[in-house]
Amino acid sequence: MPNATFVLKEPTSTEDTLLYLIFRYDHNRLKYYTGIKLHPDYWNPKDQKARDIRKFSKSTEINATLKNLSTGVENEYRRLINDKIIPTNEKLKSKLDEILLKKEIKDNKDFIGFIEDYIKNTNKRPNTIKQYNTAHSRLKEYRDFKRKAILFEDINLNFYEDFTTYLTKEKKYGINTIGTIFKNIKVFMSEAFERGLTNNNQFRSKKFKKTSEVSESIYLTKDEIDTLYNLDLSKNPRLDRVRDLFIIGCYTGLRFSDLSQIKDENLIENNTKLKITTQKTDQVVIIPLHRYIREIIKKYDGVPPTALSNQKMNEYLKEMGQKAELNNEVVLTFTKAGKKVIETNKKHELITVHTARRSFATNAYLNDVPSISIMKITGHKTEKAFLTYIKISQEDNANKLLNHPFFK
């Protein structure tokens, strides 16, 4: 019956070196990193153990781990043979991964295990939990890629750089996506630190930061919104409802989560204002209703059209934009997989539910609605954040300045 052995990667090294498990079976060879690094002076190749000497205090812990790994892989091999399953490196590695992870979870050091419990018990809003789950999934994939448990003590600047490289090169993610993942890692670590589960606070370093770049997103001009509003969709009730809800978004600035919960009781003062508690910020906002919205509400007998799923809405909005011939080309520049990407699309291909909210903020700003009044509706807490949110072209900016006293 095959037996596991252990070898140092560099037996003559003058520094700590990796310790591997070797398992030969059925003319196959499995080489598995044990997650252990130690100096060759502390390793006994004959006994296949860490030396039990006074100046090396980790020998007992290391030898216990090696015993668990060797017994585990040998038992798993026997089980597969007895069950008439062909053993493979992948199946045996999976068992070894499980042994290492169980040890870390038992020791209450496993970062991913903590995240799972945190998400399970949090009362955060659905969109926040969705972001948490994304960060959790990427961390699990990274753990499997590295074939090593992720402990609280591992969340340091070396981890930051290595995980960033993984997300950039292996996952091909953009800067903002990576930034959001790290933002949530900082949330998890902060919670663990506050609970006294770790003393590691390297996540608070200025270098351990949420990266971001200004995203280039479209908005629809007032003329384009007029075109959509006047588009004859009477023979297509599916797009008709989607268009009407989108127009409401263009003149209220509400997020999809709020658009989808509008009811007749939210319409106040003879349908001239809308009063709603926003889901994301839990703030009450009161918005005067544009003429288009009042006409849409009348069209639906006082009850705004119901929303579809976000995904379906986005799909139908692109179809609607194509019918409205919003075909002017839009050039977007962004970073993906560590490289600058320049992409040209037709405008209707880029329309999403969120385009309505951005259109509201931008058009209100261009029409001299005070920033503070717009921010009361959009929920932006600082003018700096608000100004990065709105999208105006150089031409739009010049046109806005034409009527400024300074240019008279």
DSSP for 278-332, written as a single string: -TTT--EEEEEPPHHHHHHHHHTTTSPPPP--HHHHHHHHHHHHHHTT---EEEE
Say how far apart CA 36 and CA 296 lie, in whole Å: 66
pLDDT at 5: 95
Say how far apart CA 95 and CA 117 lie, in whole Å: 23
Say how far apart CA 179 and CA 164 lie, in whole Å: 9
Domain boundary among the residues 58, 80, 106 is at 106
What is the per-residue pLDDT across 233-251, written as a single tens digit (0 to 9) for each?
999 999 999 999 999 999 9
Q: Which residue has the tokens 């639906």?
A: 300
Q: What is the DSSP letter of 369?
A: -
For residue 153, tell me if it sits in a domain: yes
3-state secondary structure 106-119: HCCCEHHHHHHHHH
Say how far apart CA 308 and CA 320 lie, in whole Å: 15
Say how far apart CA 149 and CA 99 lie, in whole Å: 10
For residue 172, tell me if it sits in a domain: yes
CA-derived radius of gyration, the chain? 29
What is the per-residue pLDDT across 128-162, written as a single tens digit (0 to 9) for each?
899 999 999 999 999 988 888 899 999 999 999 99
Say how far apart CA 167 and CA 177 lie, in whole Å: 9
pLDDT at 302: 81
Domain boundary among the residues 88, 106, 124 is at 106
The tally of CA atoms less than 13 A away on the side-chain side of residue 322 is: 9
Q: Check if the beta carbon of residue 292 is closer than 8 Å to that of residue 399.
A: no
* 149 and 250 co-located in one domain: no
For residue 149, tell me if it sits in a domain: yes
* 392 and 304 co-located in one domain: yes
Report the CATH number at residue 131: 1.10.150
One DSSP character per residue, 138-201 reads HHHHHHHHHTS--BGGG-SHHHHHHHHHIIIIIS--BHHHHHHHHHHHHHHHHHHHHTTS----
What is the per-residue pLDDT across 296-326, written as a single tens digit (0 to 9) for each?
999 988 878 888 888 899 999 999 999 999 9
* 299 and 403 co-located in one domain: yes
For residue 370, tell me if it sits in a domain: yes
Residue ranges in the chain modelled with pLDDT below 70: 101-108, 214-216, 333-334, 337-338, 393
Say how far apart CA 70 and CA 52 lie, in whole Å: 19
Domain that holds residue 34: 4-106
* 39 and 137 co-located in one domain: no
CB atoms within 10 A of CB 87: 20
* 290 and 255 co-located in one domain: yes
Report the CATH number at residue 324: 1.10.443.10
